[in-house]
Chain A
């Protein structure tokens, strides 16, 4: 039996006595059996990148050439059919630990590639450090760590000596797990210092304006657009008039000018 165990089980449960089958006359090589079973399963559910990596490794071990894997197997696995993809998958399949975690969080090929750039020891740390984060958070954390490491030319351990990250460093040393959203916000602040500072300043300035309760301001967080959006929840002309009057009165507040100055990049 090359493939179809589960279908037989299901048929038995349904009380079927006979099933159509395809008899393969010639002897199948291990490689051919592997191909049939893998792709039979592949049709049933989505495979994670870790599973795809293991399958490719298996095919390669059974003697399928790189050329064939690249040209025929990778497109079936919906992966870019080129040598670098194969290299990444083979490297991933040989990961000493962590493959299961990567499978569970369903990493994408791009995250795997970035992750594999870290030295072995750092890969272990990183996996521990981001274990409790969601798929998207893990992706972001790896990108931020990669970027900061390269930008600051520091090892991961040195990066973690940054104020605010000492608790993570300690957790490492004591082999304890500690990871949450806080890690990401510290990393973001570190990776986007200019945007972080400006957004913080805008936030503070808006707060100082003491807007009427049901009125709020919004703006483009990337600061590409320079306009403010004013929003008000109103249920009547009276309410609208009241809020507008309150707003007009607040125009003397220098924080309005400050806000537009920051948005327009004047005096910064």
Chain B
């Protein structure tokens, strides 16, 4: 069963009725009721009537035109940012992670697919035309999962084609899915990084509903690497629980057992963090999850995080595990403070050095 088989209904924005992708998308979703609406509010009203509006929003698809697609990654104030750009082709995601901030952030937005991706092609041409001195990283995994709906949209191969021959621009497709069939059917693009979020299988089962298992993610990564793609991995969010260290150790061991080190472009680390209004909705939706019942502090950007000493211990431990395989220089932290970066960077510099992919932020 593909993830989009959970979809109950399609809504089509009247303004997008004649838009480029509409027919293609509708053809792939036969036998589903289609309703033309004037605006997204019409759908949101229905979503709000459901006992679980967020869950409902993941079963409805809205086809519409996006005004613009590219923006600098919103990181958070006070964070040591990594200069990332986001490319938002889809909004919302068919998967259902207990820690997902989209539960609050999207406020009842159905899975929204852009029907005017040709417009994105133009926007990207302008983006490429700007003068750059550094390598640009850009990705689609900010407000959606990059590959969850690939069988339906084909957005990954659409983007792969645009980014081919744009060596100064690294396109990252970040996912918890295993659907790479479309990407396997094309010649790999050297500046396309396929990346997977990693967590121990126990965390995947309890907190990442609907996503591919850890082994499925690894097997997809192995196949992608064999095909010639470069890979990224994100330990994010790292969850603290009794026995976390052994569990993450097994993930790291499995990663380096299966994936050739040279295929890995980067590995990010980020411990669990969330805005104050997320636990209420997440607790309601995931009563069995206990990730929000840990000790947290409200940090500089208003988000809750594990206390800094604990975060440091967790990062240091995982960096240590990764450095056993000589990949520590490929590590960066996601949404962390300069204080934490400083300690971890020292640790990485003390570790084994390998000549790997030069990050734009490295001297």
Contacts and interface: CB of A to CB of B under 8 A. Distances in A.
Interface of A: 66-67, 70-71, 81-84, 87, 110, 113-114, 117, 147-148, 150-151, 191-195, 198, 222-226, 265, 268
Given A151-B294, A194-B295, A224-B300, A114 B280 contact: yes
Interface pairs A-B: 3 shortest CB-CB:
A82-B48, A151-B293, A222-B297
Nearest to A111: B280
Interface stretch (B49-57, B176-184, B204-212, B228-236): B49-57
A189 to B, nearest CB: 11
A191 B229 CA distance: 46
- A interface: dominant SS: helix
Contacts of A265: 308-309, 312, 343
Given A195-B295, A198-B309, A265-B312, A84 B284 contact: yes
A224 B295 contact: no
Contacts, number: 72
A194 B306 CA distance: 10
Contacts of B300: 224-225
B260 interface: no
B225 to A, nearest CB: 37
Contact of A268 (B294, B298, B309, B343): B309
A83 B307 contact: no
B6 interface: no
Contacts of A67: 49
Nearest to A110: B280
B309 A194 contact: yes
Contacts of B307: 194-195, 198, 222-223
Contacts of B49: 66-67, 70-71, 82-83
A222 B302 CA distance: 12
Contacts of A150: 290, 293
Contacts of B339: 224-226
Interface string B278-311: 0010011000001011110111100000011110
Interface in B5-56: 45, 48-53
Interface in B312-363: 312, 337, 339, 343
